[in-house]
């Protein structure tokens, strides 16, 4: 613990000293103009939420991330993000988490293609890859991309990223990473708790993921898919649990498509649809009794308008009025040996304002309404079916 604290404090100290020696707003200017090979940056967010049902408020430093990067030569670079969630980590008590959100080497093949190797975030969904608080509306990340796509979803592996020379704006990526741990799947969390997040991952099972990303006429279009094993255990143990071991045994499949648009006049729109299936859910439930769903689906759509555009078209400040509707069913199909929980059929309506006084700084105010189906009292607190939150928070990224 002592070493951990020293590490964190030294991390902040380095960040602070870098702020002194780096000219204001010139992290990159330093890199470009003076060829500084080392990048220090970060992001974070703080939130106060008020639960209108319980009439209780909660204040929390949601996360703070320190980014360190270093360029060894023009083709090889290092990237890392260290995250502290919930402000502190205290031994023996429930509190926050310190984790590496990313740590990878990047190898440029040519100007169009590069490889990543290490702990990285594959291109799946909107938030997973672009999760800075300044890039999304609302204090909380879209719920769909927490419960269904377990953002930030990072695993250890090798990734290939590139862009097409034949079609302007078309990017592609493919990655081979370690798989999931189906023992940790759970009711209401889908596959979220089955991520290894780079910590002592069982690499006996693997996953393949790929994405196409296309920028055209102001639109950002993306489609991606994931297919990976979730039982990376020894074959004798897998046999005894009646699970399929092997690289892609007991597979999890997920696919999504999303679209984003931002007009010059201030209008913005985004939408995503996700489908996931775990065909051996019955086997997983027999082995681990964790109520793993057979299928999950979800979608959301969000519209927003930058009110500042009405007054000053080229202002760096922005004030976005937005509304987002999310719907998902985290047990759209259940196996014969698991129970259906209506509370996992969720809808959210989130509306609010996102104010940015300057790029990289955000102040957020939103109201989040949640409604679910009838909870299964064996699995879920029945009072958890409907509530609303009023959230206010600030965030930064640089």
Partner 1 sequence: MKRRDFITNTSKLGACALLGITVLSHTGCASYPLFKAKVIDKTLSIPLTEFIKSKRLLVRTSSIEFDIFAHEFEAGKYRATLLQCTHHNEPVTVSDQKIYCPSHGSTFALDGQVTKAPAKVGLKHFPTRLSDDGNSVLILLEG
The residue behind tokens 């290490």 is: 118
* Residue selected from 25, 97, 239, 384 as contacting partner 1 according to rule CB under 8 A: 25
The residue behind tokens 């890199």 is: 31
Per CB under 8 A, the segment of 4-12, 356-364, 370-378, 385-393 that binds partner 1 is 356-364
Shortest spacing between CB 107 and partner 1, in angstroms? 11
Which residues, 6 or more positions from 16, have their beta carbon under 8 angstroms from its beta carbon?
A: none
* Residue selected from 77, 82, 254, 330 as contacting partner 1 according to rule CB under 8 A: 77
CB atoms within 10 A of CB 390: 16
158 binds partner 1 (CB under 8 A): no
| C-alpha to C-alpha distance for 241 and 226, rounded to whole angstroms | 25
Q: What is the CA radius of gyration of the chain?
A: 22
Per CB under 8 A, the segment of 4-12, 35-43, 93-101, 226-234 that binds partner 1 is 35-43
* Residue selected from 45, 66, 67, 391 as contacting partner 1 according to rule CB under 8 A: 67
Reply yes or no: is the peptide bond before residue 25 cis, omega within 30 of 0: no
Reply yes or no: is the peptide bond before residue 152 cis, omega within 30 of 0: yes
Nearest CA-CA partner of 189 in 390, 346, 65? 346
The site string for partner 1 over 224-253 (x = CB under 8 A, - otherwise) reads ------------------------------
Judge whether 152 and 131 are in contact, CB under 8 Å.
Answer: yes
204 binds partner 1 (CB under 8 A): no
171 binds partner 1 (CB under 8 A): yes
CB atoms within 10 A of CB 234: 10
262 binds partner 1 (CB under 8 A): yes
Binding site residues, partner 1, CB under 8 A: 25-26, 28-29, 31-32, 39, 41, 43, 67, 69, 71, 74-75, 77, 79, 108, 111-112, 114, 123, 129-130, 132, 134-135, 161, 163-171, 212-218, 220-221, 223, 255, 257, 259, 262, 273, 275, 295, 297, 299, 327, 329, 332-333, 356, 359-360, 397-398
């Amino acid at each position: 613990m002592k070493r951990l604290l020293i590490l964190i404090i030294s991390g902040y100290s380095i960040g602070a000293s870098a702020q002194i020696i780096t000219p204001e707003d010139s992290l990159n200017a330093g890199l470009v103009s003076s060829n500084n090979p080392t990048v220090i940056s970060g992001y974070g967010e703080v939130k106060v939420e008020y639960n209108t049902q319980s009439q209780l408020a909660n204040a929390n430093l949601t996360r703070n991330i320190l980014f360190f990067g270093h360029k060894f030569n023009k083709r090889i670079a290092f990237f890392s993000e260290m995250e502290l969630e919930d402000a502190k980590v205290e031994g023996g008590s429930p509190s926050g988490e310190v984790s590496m959100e990313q740590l990878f080497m990047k190898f440029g093949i040519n100007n169009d293609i590069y490889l990543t190797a290490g702990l990285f975030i594959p291109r799946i969904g909107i938030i997973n890859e672009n999760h800075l608080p300044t890039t999304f509306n609302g204090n909380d990340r879209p719920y769909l991309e927490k419960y269904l796509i377990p953002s930030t979803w990072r695993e250890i592996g090798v990734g290939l990223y590139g862009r097409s020379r034949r079609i302007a704006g078309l990017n592609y990526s493919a990655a081979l990473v370690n798989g999931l741990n189906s023992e940790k799947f759970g009711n209401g969390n889908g596959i979220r708790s089955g991520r290894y997040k780079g910590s002592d991952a069982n690499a006996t099972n693997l996953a393949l993921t790929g994405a196409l990303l296309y920028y055209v006429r102001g639109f950002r279009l993306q489609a991606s898919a994931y297919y990976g094993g979730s039982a990376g255990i020894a074959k004798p143990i897998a046999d005894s649990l009646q699970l399929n071991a092997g690289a892609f045994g007991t597979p999890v499949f997920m696919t999504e498509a999303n679209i984003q648009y931002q007009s010059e006049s201030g209008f913005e729109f985004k939408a995503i649809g996700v489908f996931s299936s775990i065909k051996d859910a019955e086997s997983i439930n027999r082995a681990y009794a964790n109520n793993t769903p057979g299928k999950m689906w979800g979608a959301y759509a969000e519209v927003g308008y930058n009110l500042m555009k009405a007054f000053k078209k080229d202002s760096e400040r922005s004030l976005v009025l937005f509304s987002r509707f999310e719907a998902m069913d985290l047990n759209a199909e259940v196996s014969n040996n698991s129970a259906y929980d209506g509370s996992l059929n969720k809808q959210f309506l989130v509306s609010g304002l996102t104010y940015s006084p300057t790029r990289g700084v955000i102040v957020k105010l939103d109201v989040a309404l949640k409604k679910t189906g009838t909870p299964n009292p064996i699995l879920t607190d029945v009072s958890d079916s409907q509530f609303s939150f009023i959230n206010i928070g600030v965030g930064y990224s640089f």
